[in-house]
Amino acid sequence: MKPLIVQKYGGATLADPEKIKAVSARVAKQAKDNSLIVVVSAMGKTTNSLIDLASQVSAHPQRREMDMLLTVGERISMSLVSMALNDQGCKAISFTGSQAGIFTDDSHVNAFIKDVKAFRVEEALKSEKVVILAGFQGVSPTTKEITTLGRGGSDTSAVAMAAAFNAERCEILKDVPAVFSADPNIVKTAKPLQELNYDQLMEMTFWGAKVLHYRSVELAKVRDVTLYIGPASNKTSDGTLVKKGLNMFESCKALSLNSHETVLEIRSQEKNTAKALKQLQDLFEEKQIAFPQLLHCEINKDHAEILLTGPQEIMGAVKRELQSQKNFTLHPQDYSTVTLTCTGATSPEIPQQVLEKMDKAQLQAHKLIMSAMSVTVVIDASTRKQTVEALHTLI
């Protein structure tokens, strides 16, 4: 029996018909030696275009309808890839998330996978077909509604399938050669990282690394799914390998630098932080805004300060809504985070070095947030690029 590999192709690798044909040729070649489940994202910037389209017809799009709209992108990709494969003589069949048995909770726009019952996928693999799966989506078994898994959720779809079928590995294939020590578009001297363990990559993705969706790494760790992140056009040898135990015994050193571009600071008039968070959650629910990623809470005597981040469309909706709210005050300054992730436990020297580098570059930190594997500075968004460049010299 052929070994099973799950592959996920990002939107940039499927951006036009020629790239879809190239990906299909690669899949067809690998299907000779492997059983394959191929998870696809929407083509290029399709998701962004659909979000923009929704904003042109509705000031407050219902999240259910956004899910109905956004799942179209992956369905286009899955059907086109399947068509191209069949034309090349490689038997293939496409499935949506619901057809593939990806069951989620009832949330719209940011659902969690609860179970995978991939009977149709199993049947297709037994008949030696390549399965093309629309990523980023599932279905709630209680409401019978289509759901989406959040921006980048195709990664989670792929890991969930790899876990369900105990695949040899899950390949996240992109238009970049590996995970880098920083965004190579900002830092030209960024270095490729050959090996990471789950904890390192979880820290990186939580603090802004766009290489994978945070939940996908969390799921990979829980289910012990070996990950490979690398190029969609070459051999799977030069990318980044992620699995249990790698790098665990290295001395403490700076590993990578990541960033959230837009971070909002919200001040609540409610002194009880738990109540403040609940009020914010209720407000977003009422206004059909997906709750952003919570980064930090600061508890003061007379108010609570909350740091949130998320995709630009969600941050824009949060800004518009909070401008008219009496219970919440939005800080007028947009912030960013820049996070230095380290191997092992963070030593006292590393935060000291971070602050010294910032002082030398005449950059001001608004807050310093520590964790076991990272040092995060909250800065004015306007200084994000300079901060990334300055701190990358520590790596």
Structural class in CATH, domain 4-242: alpha beta
Integer angstrom CA distances of residue 159 from 72, 104, 269, 321: 21, 14, 41, 35
Query: What is the pTM assigned to this prediction?
Result: 0.92
Task: Give the number of other CB atoms < 10 A from CB of residue 360.
Answer: 10
Residue 57 burial (C-beta neighbours within 10 Å; 0-12, 13-18, 19+)? exposed
DSSP string across 118-134: -HHHHHHHHTTPEEEEE
The H helix count followed by the E strand count for the chain is 11, 21
Segments making up each domain of the chain, as ranges: 4-242, 250-395
CATH assignment of 250-395, among 3.30.2130.10, 3.30.70.270, 1.25.40.10, 1.10.150.50: 3.30.2130.10
Measured between its terminal Cα atoms, the distance across the chain in Å is 44
> Digits of tens for pLDDT over the chain (395 positions)?
799 999 999 999 999 999 999 999 999 999 999 999 999 999 999 999 999 999 999 988 999 999 999 999 999 999 999 999 999 999 999 999 999 999 999 999 999 999 999 999 999 999 999 999 999 999 999 999 999 999 889 999 999 999 999 999 999 998 888 999 999 999 999 999 999 999 999 999 999 998 999 999 999 999 999 999 998 875 556 899 998 877 655 556 678 999 999 999 999 988 888 999 999 999 999 999 999 999 999 888 888 899 999 999 899 999 999 988 888 999 999 999 999 998 755 678 888 899 999 999 999 999 999 888 899 999 999 999 999 999 999 98
Q: Quote the CA–CA distance of 366 and 103 in Å, as a whole number.
A: 41
Q: What is the CA radius of gyration of the chain?
A: 22
Which residues fall within 8 angstroms of residue 249, CB to CB, at 6 or more apart? none
Structure tokens at 345: 């436990």
Which residues share a beta bridge with 371?
Answer: 374
Q: Quote the CA–CA distance of 202 and 217 in Å, as a whole number.
A: 6
Q: Quote the CA–CA distance of 223 and 163 in Å, as a whole number.
A: 6
